[in-house]
Amino acid sequence: MLAPLKPLGSHAFQSDNFRAIPAYLRDNILEPYKPECVYIGRAFRDMSFDKELVALAEVCVPYTFYGSQTGHFNAVESLLCLNQLAFLTIADLVVDDEPHAFRQAIKTTDLQDFKEQVLSRTFITSVKTQFRRTLDGHHVVMRLAFTTMRKHAGMVFLASEFAFIDGTRSLDAPPAFFGQATFAIPAM
Protein backbone atom coordinates (compact mmCIF):
# COMPACT_ATOMS: atom_id res chain seq x y z
CA MET A 1 0.00 0.00 0.00
CA LEU A 2 1.27 3.48 -0.84
CA ALA A 3 2.49 5.63 2.01
CA PRO A 4 0.08 8.40 3.09
CA LEU A 5 -0.63 11.01 0.45
CA LYS A 6 -0.38 14.74 0.91
CA PRO A 7 -2.79 17.29 -0.60
CA LEU A 8 -1.84 18.54 -4.05
CA GLY A 9 -1.51 22.15 -5.07
CA SER A 10 1.27 24.68 -5.28
CA HIS A 11 1.48 24.71 -1.49
CA ALA A 12 1.97 20.92 -1.33
CA PHE A 13 5.44 21.12 -2.81
CA GLN A 14 6.40 24.04 -0.56
CA SER A 15 6.13 22.12 2.71
CA ASP A 16 9.16 21.13 4.76
CA ASN A 17 8.59 17.51 3.78
CA PHE A 18 9.26 18.10 0.09
CA ARG A 19 12.56 19.05 -1.46
CA ALA A 20 12.82 19.88 -5.13
CA ILE A 21 15.03 17.62 -7.19
CA PRO A 22 17.29 20.06 -9.06
CA ALA A 23 16.51 20.71 -12.73
CA TYR A 24 20.19 20.22 -13.63
CA LEU A 25 19.98 16.68 -12.22
CA ARG A 26 16.80 15.95 -14.17
CA ASP A 27 18.42 17.20 -17.39
CA ASN A 28 21.58 15.17 -16.75
CA ILE A 29 19.87 11.89 -15.82
CA LEU A 30 17.20 12.08 -18.53
CA GLU A 31 19.66 13.20 -21.24
CA PRO A 32 19.59 9.78 -23.00
CA TYR A 33 15.87 10.24 -23.78
CA LYS A 34 14.76 12.13 -26.88
CA PRO A 35 13.70 15.63 -25.76
CA GLU A 36 10.09 15.05 -26.80
CA CYS A 37 10.03 11.91 -24.62
CA VAL A 38 11.14 13.57 -21.39
CA TYR A 39 7.82 13.58 -19.59
CA ILE A 40 8.95 14.50 -16.07
CA GLY A 41 8.74 18.20 -15.26
CA ARG A 42 9.33 19.34 -11.72
CA ALA A 43 10.08 16.53 -9.29
CA PHE A 44 10.24 16.42 -5.52
CA ARG A 45 11.46 14.02 -2.86
CA ASP A 46 9.34 13.59 0.23
CA MET A 47 11.92 13.83 2.99
CA SER A 48 9.56 12.66 5.76
CA PHE A 49 10.16 8.97 5.03
CA ASP A 50 13.26 7.15 6.22
CA LYS A 51 12.31 3.59 5.32
CA GLU A 52 10.71 4.35 1.94
CA LEU A 53 12.05 6.49 -0.88
CA VAL A 54 9.14 8.65 -2.06
CA ALA A 55 8.92 11.12 -4.93
CA LEU A 56 6.28 13.18 -6.69
CA ALA A 57 6.55 14.63 -10.18
CA GLU A 58 4.57 16.77 -12.52
CA VAL A 59 4.13 14.82 -15.73
CA CYS A 60 3.15 16.09 -19.15
CA VAL A 61 2.75 13.87 -22.20
CA PRO A 62 1.77 16.35 -24.92
CA TYR A 63 1.39 13.66 -27.58
CA THR A 64 2.03 10.00 -28.20
CA PHE A 65 5.41 9.76 -29.91
CA TYR A 66 5.00 6.29 -31.43
CA GLY A 67 1.79 6.63 -33.46
CA SER A 68 -1.54 8.34 -33.85
CA GLN A 69 -2.88 10.18 -30.84
CA THR A 70 -4.85 7.86 -28.56
CA GLY A 71 -6.66 10.70 -26.81
CA HIS A 72 -5.49 9.64 -23.37
CA PHE A 73 -2.44 8.81 -21.29
CA ASN A 74 -1.68 5.11 -21.73
CA ALA A 75 0.52 2.24 -20.55
CA VAL A 76 3.49 2.99 -22.81
CA GLU A 77 3.80 6.54 -21.49
CA SER A 78 3.27 5.36 -17.92
CA LEU A 79 6.26 3.00 -18.17
CA LEU A 80 8.46 5.77 -19.58
CA CYS A 81 7.37 8.04 -16.72
CA LEU A 82 8.00 5.26 -14.21
CA ASN A 83 11.54 4.73 -15.51
CA GLN A 84 12.28 8.44 -15.61
CA LEU A 85 11.07 9.19 -12.10
CA ALA A 86 12.77 6.08 -10.69
CA PHE A 87 16.11 7.02 -12.26
CA LEU A 88 15.78 10.61 -11.09
CA THR A 89 14.79 9.69 -7.54
CA ILE A 90 17.67 7.26 -7.11
CA ALA A 91 20.13 9.75 -8.67
CA ASP A 92 18.96 12.40 -6.21
CA LEU A 93 19.73 10.03 -3.35
CA VAL A 94 23.19 9.38 -4.84
CA VAL A 95 24.03 13.07 -5.27
CA ASP A 96 22.86 13.98 -1.76
CA ASP A 97 24.67 11.04 -0.15
CA GLU A 98 22.23 11.31 2.74
CA PRO A 99 21.61 8.67 5.36
CA HIS A 100 18.63 6.65 4.14
CA ALA A 101 17.70 2.99 4.31
CA PHE A 102 18.14 2.63 0.53
CA ARG A 103 21.46 4.48 0.41
CA GLN A 104 23.40 1.35 1.34
CA ALA A 105 22.34 -0.29 -1.94
CA ILE A 106 24.27 2.18 -4.10
CA LYS A 107 27.85 2.73 -3.04
CA THR A 108 28.89 5.36 -5.56
CA THR A 109 28.49 9.08 -4.94
CA ASP A 110 29.77 10.04 -8.39
CA LEU A 111 26.96 11.00 -10.79
CA GLN A 112 28.84 10.01 -13.95
CA ASP A 113 29.76 6.64 -12.46
CA PHE A 114 26.13 6.17 -11.42
CA LYS A 115 24.94 6.90 -14.97
CA GLU A 116 27.48 4.62 -16.63
CA GLN A 117 27.56 1.73 -14.18
CA VAL A 118 24.10 1.73 -12.61
CA LEU A 119 21.51 3.37 -14.86
CA SER A 120 22.77 1.72 -18.00
CA ARG A 121 22.20 -1.68 -16.37
CA THR A 122 18.95 -0.99 -14.46
CA PHE A 123 15.70 -2.51 -15.61
CA ILE A 124 12.16 -3.31 -14.51
CA THR A 125 11.81 -7.00 -13.65
CA SER A 126 8.05 -6.94 -13.10
CA VAL A 127 5.20 -4.49 -13.33
CA LYS A 128 1.50 -4.69 -12.53
CA THR A 129 -0.86 -1.86 -13.41
CA GLN A 130 -4.52 -1.32 -12.60
CA PHE A 131 -6.49 1.21 -14.61
CA ARG A 132 -9.54 2.95 -13.16
CA ARG A 133 -10.23 5.58 -15.81
CA THR A 134 -8.64 7.45 -18.69
CA LEU A 135 -6.33 10.32 -17.90
CA ASP A 136 -5.47 13.41 -19.90
CA GLY A 137 -1.68 13.33 -20.25
CA HIS A 138 -1.23 17.10 -20.24
CA HIS A 139 -1.53 17.59 -16.48
CA VAL A 140 -0.68 14.56 -14.37
CA VAL A 141 0.97 14.06 -11.00
CA MET A 142 2.90 10.87 -10.47
CA ARG A 143 3.78 9.41 -7.11
CA LEU A 144 6.47 6.76 -6.72
CA ALA A 145 7.41 5.01 -3.49
CA PHE A 146 10.25 2.50 -3.29
CA THR A 147 9.05 0.34 -0.42
CA THR A 148 11.49 -2.53 0.07
CA MET A 149 14.96 -3.57 -1.00
CA ARG A 150 16.66 -6.95 -1.23
CA LYS A 151 20.01 -8.09 -2.60
CA HIS A 152 20.44 -11.21 -4.70
CA ALA A 153 23.04 -12.45 -7.21
CA GLY A 154 24.90 -9.16 -7.46
CA MET A 155 21.72 -7.17 -7.99
CA VAL A 156 19.60 -4.95 -5.75
CA PHE A 157 15.86 -5.36 -6.22
CA LEU A 158 13.75 -2.35 -5.31
CA ALA A 159 10.01 -2.95 -4.97
CA SER A 160 7.87 0.08 -5.64
CA GLU A 161 4.31 1.33 -5.79
CA PHE A 162 3.20 4.11 -8.10
CA ALA A 163 0.13 6.13 -8.92
CA PHE A 164 -0.90 8.57 -11.63
CA ILE A 165 -3.37 11.21 -10.51
CA ASP A 166 -5.25 13.85 -12.48
CA GLY A 167 -3.24 17.02 -11.85
CA THR A 168 -6.43 19.02 -11.32
CA ARG A 169 -7.39 16.90 -8.29
CA SER A 170 -5.89 16.46 -4.84
CA LEU A 171 -3.35 13.74 -4.13
CA ASP A 172 -5.80 11.96 -1.87
CA ALA A 173 -8.18 11.51 -4.83
CA PRO A 174 -8.27 7.97 -6.20
CA PRO A 175 -5.58 7.60 -8.88
CA ALA A 176 -6.57 7.11 -12.50
CA PHE A 177 -4.22 4.17 -12.49
CA PHE A 178 -1.69 2.69 -10.15
CA GLY A 179 0.47 -0.34 -9.68
CA GLN A 180 3.61 -2.01 -8.45
CA ALA A 181 6.97 -2.46 -10.12
CA THR A 182 10.25 -4.06 -9.17
CA PHE A 183 13.51 -2.57 -10.39
CA ALA A 184 16.81 -4.45 -10.58
CA ILE A 185 19.99 -2.41 -10.27
CA PRO A 186 23.56 -3.66 -10.12
CA ALA A 187 25.00 -3.83 -6.60
CA MET A 188 28.10 -1.71 -6.62
| Mean pLDDT in residue range 73-94 | 90
- What's the predicted TM-score (pTM) here? 0.88
| Mean pLDDT in residue range 67-82 | 78
| Mean pLDDT in residue range 109-136 | 88
| Mean pLDDT in residue range 141-163 | 93
pLDDT band at 36 (very low <50, low <70, confident <90, very high): confident
pLDDT band at 135 (very low <50, low <70, confident <90, very high): confident
| Mean pLDDT in residue range 55-74 | 77
pLDDT in tens, 165-180: 988 777 778 898 899 9
- The structural domains of the chain, ordered by start, are 12-186 (3.10.129.30)
> Exposed e or buried b for every residue in 33-71, given b needs 16+ CB within 10 A?
eeeeebbbeebbbbeebeebbbbbbbbebeebeeeeeee
Determine the pLDDT at residue 8: 42
pLDDT band at 70 (very low <50, low <70, confident <90, very high): low
Determine the pLDDT at residue 72: 63
Determine the pLDDT at residue 68: 64
